[in-house]
Structure 1
């Protein structure tokens, strides 16, 4: 007789709330093994007894065929004292002071639960909070680890007898589904008027659907916060929402009833179809069909729609044959954080929404929808939110670090137990409410991860709220240059440590010389960089107003080539124009900038007559949307070397643009030639840097590379010339990925013991 063996197995990663314990229970029984499994902190611990061959089979299944939503980072296996168990059991969770592991993002409703809510014979027919171990809320309702019902906002709802039976049955797909509920015992929706008065009705969801058909605007509480919702086929309703929300131009996200309905309005390739349909259900940026029947005011002047599919039971219940498309935009006033507390929503959105559809389950952590685009069969994350956050990526360091990001598209990154835990998108830190939520998320993630940072990494800019927060903490602070953080984020995502070329095109970021950088070429690694090239400096006037009023950028650029701005903007206030011109001449409130974003703003403003914008990079985004991709011509450009640094000149590019504009060339042609020129000049700079420094690994980053046409052309052009090219896919290329890059820089500096307090860390390579 073969003597049974005993093992202890600890599984780390995203292993709670994904059906891991019932999977292990069934697998152990299939191999006739005995023992137990339990949650421990954020890991899962298994004690296993049986024949070696059976245990090998068990480990094979665990390693190769885990539950679909599980992400296993590593498995620790050790021998265990031989014990004789009668069977295999699932035990209660254990406390563990050294919590390690990952927090599970919220997951879209699975097909099985969707069938339940649409089946008139099922007890969950029409129930908006249906879920199982394969789907439903996670991160948004967790208060503490381990992930048990009592540690979530579902603790307020006592399961009925039927739900309790499901919860306790290892053979049931709702076994230990912590948000498990039904119409008898779970959360419920209630409908309110905009003034907060309850609307008496038998079925609030059905009544809400009818109101949407009538052209009303609803504020609807979902998994991670409120959405403002209206019928996407009703142009008047959309116009009303724009006026009330103070969002005149920025595209609205849409939700379509089904993938077939998405294909009615957009062109999808197989990767886009897969991405929009997966269990994360992000907003995907898709090319709209020319024959679309939807109103133009959904996505003004753009060729794209941002579309998502239903991801909660409620969403499926809102659609029918006569309501297939809904505007579903964040429940806030533009620029403010998403509302997630009922009292705040009723206060802040009372002048926007006609009705409120509110449920009585508390949201612990607000989280916006994620945004993804597909390029070259790869899904690129542009905004990290529901379904993705918190995002855990390996970072090989024993140091515990908090990185606090920037001021726009704020995010946080905790480095804990050799994992970088990246928060959801936290908005713009210009508002008091956003700053309060930002610090709340720091406290919440710190508690959930049981993290104790030894160092805190921040941006160089002294006036950022994130920088000021960092400097108030009584731990080591590490200042990281903005664009070096972008470069390091790309390097860390691709697990690259050696020297490389960083090409970072961005809007704003304080440079080591005090100027505003953003058109940068670096040689460096994660801990050090050398600035070896940049876009030629321009003197800009007006601080942030130059971003919000791109005519000011255009004025500065035109001034360098002695061109007048008045013919481009005949309606500009003459007095204001004279004031800015004088301030520019006398260098009042002026700053030097190498920002590629500002050059795009200048050209877009001139070509489109766009003097003011109402959302970030509006003019540049509209300019990209006009590109005629059949055009291959470029404008002339100059690259000169000054004091060992390559300077990309803008004057000849701008003169070429103005010449074509004066000759009445189509804007689509000029836009294409401008984009092609920036791509070609970027590639030429990279070639010169490679020749000088003998480096051919290139890392692209910064918000300007959200421009898909530019990114695609630069990547393909560099690869043709033999470069190894990397860009962020899992982490946003924009400032949403900044905290991850700061963490990577800080980790590398601490590992090398290279940090000197107060340095900008621009260390030069020999």
Structure 2
């Protein structure tokens, strides 16, 4: 600080004595406006920036935990340019509005949602839109929801002193890369995206993305637990008196890391995908900062069972450097253990439903009913297996999945061609042959892929351009429909009771011949929820287990979650769902830490 501020800071009789916010124009934060890597020498960089936004420019605005790409949300042409420049053709953008009244002009805000919006940590809150204005259709294509946040930094408030309407406020990064935190990296990475930059001279020491919340079944769910909530301590009910200190490195997507000891588990901020050198470097720095913050040296490292994750490689590297382990933990066991951990349940039947996770048998899991303890999880039911013709291509083009779940070749071929999954009918025949022979067609039990297949079947979304798009669009479409009657096809697979999803999709196709597609979408979600609930409650009752839980990425779906919770509760069992820990993959590290702690404690007894 300058000499004047230092004198006031050190004088006990001065009102600025030991005031951490003491600052002045000489030593306080400075704003600057840059164009083409060059500082524009002006006295009012803020006014220059707000004028640029009004003129349809795309700016980078440096914040607290990173930098945002910002533009006028109501300018469809500018938002379209932002999509083109960033290579995000349909991924929904978050917006920032000045206050709740402004938000209510385009979205419905319940009391629970208003509480989330106005929380002092100012998360992005997912809201249902009240009307599909042209600008909302560009900001969140194909969806009836939009992510909204209120200003949370002084610079944000200054921007809205000059601007009336909402602003797109999305993280400044290339897809899959960490968010930019400094000017040099900004211009090196995004010079072809931005028209200018409003920056300050405060160093961002720890990158931290915005937290994201959705109200599901009346309660808060974290889609991303980051700025404002991390780092903070979570319970460690798996710990015994001899509990080791554990480092959990997380999965591959939506990664967080965790450090656990006898006092609890501290979960890091959002890291994102760890699939390249830059993101792996961020992952390592986050581990180092977190262990230093917690003040513990981990003795044991835990990771996902998947052999090709970079995070798993990192765990092996740290084990070679002296840590015990790595303890390899099943993806869905970690999901289930995390849910048990935050509700202090030693045993529960947990439904874990998501897009993908490496199973102990080497197949792709994603629709599991698990008899869960911290140290182990037994697969006791779930969804029937089906194939993914073309592997990752079936994830990108979910119409391919129809080839493995429908016997109607004409319906399958038409869907494959219409959605662009194949170029012609000859290629469609090859896809059906892949499904029949199992050639390049890995099997899965994924609830996410089931929802994707229904989305393709109904013509809602045939090409996945961002994570979860087909299922998200299906959910929006389903809100326009009503649930119809459809019988649930159950069978036995490897001595487990499973919902036969191929037969269910076939019944939904027949239903679509007589009712609106929105009704079929609503019925598809309802059938999945009722099927899971039936399997889980039957097992719980027959084995004397009092608690049934639901977690995984599908738990963000409000209709599925609510139906499942109501069905479980009506059966006389206790239902638990995610609260402080995200149900998606960003909660995996917490579960890994609990499982590793329990297993090591059991070994040491």
TM-score tier (shorter): over 0.9
Shift of 1:293: 7.0
Contact 1:264–1:292, Cα closer than 8 Å, also in 2: no
Q: Larger relative contact order (C-alpha < 8 A, sep ≥ 6)?
A: 2
Shift of 1:387: 1.0
Which region of structure 1 is more displaced relative to structure 2, 162-171 or 406-415?
A: 162-171
2:365 to 494, 497, 517: 517
Aligned CA-pair RMSD: 2.2
Cα deviation 1:448-471 (Å, max 9, x = unaligned): 323211111111101011111111
2:474 matches 1:618: no
Which residue number corresponds to residue 254 of structure 2?
A: 409
Contact 1:411–1:739, Cα closer than 8 Å, also in 2: yes
Matches of residues 687-726 of structure 1 in structure 2 within 5 Å? Answer: 687-726=537-576
Contact 1:276–1:284, Cα closer than 8 Å, also in 2: yes
1:506 to 354, 360, 364: 354
Which residue number corresponds to residue 23 of structure 2?
A: 181
Which residue number corresponds to residue 302 of structure 2?
A: 457
Shift in CA distance, 330/576, structure 1 to aligned 2, threshold 3 Å: farther
Which residue number corresponds to residue 375 of structure 2?
A: 527
Structure 1: distance between partners of 2:112 and 2:287? 35
Contact 1:404–1:467, Cα closer than 8 Å, also in 2: yes
Shift in CA distance, 275/628, structure 1 to aligned 2, threshold 3 Å: closer
Q: Secondary structure at the match of 1:351?
A: coil
When normalised by structure 2's length, the TM-score is 0.93
2:164 to 285, 305, 323: 323
Cα deviation 1:653-686 (Å, max 9, x = unaligned): 11221113234x3221111111111111112112
Which residue number corresponds to residue 190 of structure 1?
A: 32
Which residue number corresponds to residue 492 of structure 1?
A: 341
Which residue number corresponds to residue 669 of structure 1?
A: 519
Contact 1:637–1:650, Cα closer than 8 Å, also in 2: no
Structure 1: distance between partners of 2:17 and 2:194? 39
Q: Secondary structure at the match of 1:319?
A: helix
Which residue number corresponds to residue 223 of structure 1?
A: 64
1:478 to 304, 327, 330: 327
Cα deviation 1:92-114 (Å, max 9, x = unaligned): xxxxxxxxxxxxxxxxxxxxxxx
Cα deviation 1:552-601 (Å, max 9, x = unaligned): 22222225x65641222434312543443444444332212111111111
Which residue number corresponds to residue 251 of structure 1?
A: 92
Unaligned runs of 5+ in 1: 1-157, 756-766
Which residue number corresponds to residue 180 of structure 2?
A: 339
Contact 1:568–1:609, Cα closer than 8 Å, also in 2: no
When normalised by structure 1's length, the TM-score is 0.74
Shift in CA distance, 168/547, structure 1 to aligned 2, threshold 3 Å: farther
Shift in CA distance, 720/629, structure 1 to aligned 2, threshold 3 Å: farther
Q: Secondary structure at the match of 2:355?
A: coil
Structure 1: distance between partners of 2:437 and 2:518? 37
Shift of 1:185: 1.0
Instruction: Tell me which protein shows more helix as a share of its residues.
Output: 2
Which residue number corresponds to residue 651 of structure 1?
A: 502
Question: Highest Rg: 1 or 2?
Answer: 1
Which residue number corresponds to residue 235 of structure 1?
A: 76
Shift of 1:696: 2.6
Contact 1:402–1:415, Cα closer than 8 Å, also in 2: yes
Unaligned runs of 5+ in 2: none
Structure 2: distance between partners of 1:707 and 1:510? 22
2:232 to 373, 378, 391: 391
Matches of residues 369-388 of structure 1 in structure 2 within 5 Å? Answer: 369-388=210-229
Shift in CA distance, 238/582, structure 1 to aligned 2, threshold 3 Å: same
Shift in CA distance, 516/212, structure 1 to aligned 2, threshold 3 Å: same
Structure 1: distance between partners of 2:4 and 2:494? 78
2:412 matches 1:565: yes
Cα deviation 1:710-753 (Å, max 9, x = unaligned): 11211122112212111111111000000001111111112222
Contact 1:546–1:552, Cα closer than 8 Å, also in 2: yes
Structure 2: distance between partners of 1:200 and 1:324? 28
Which region of structure 1 is more displaced relative to structure 2, 509-518 or 438-447?
A: 438-447
Shift of 1:183: 2.4
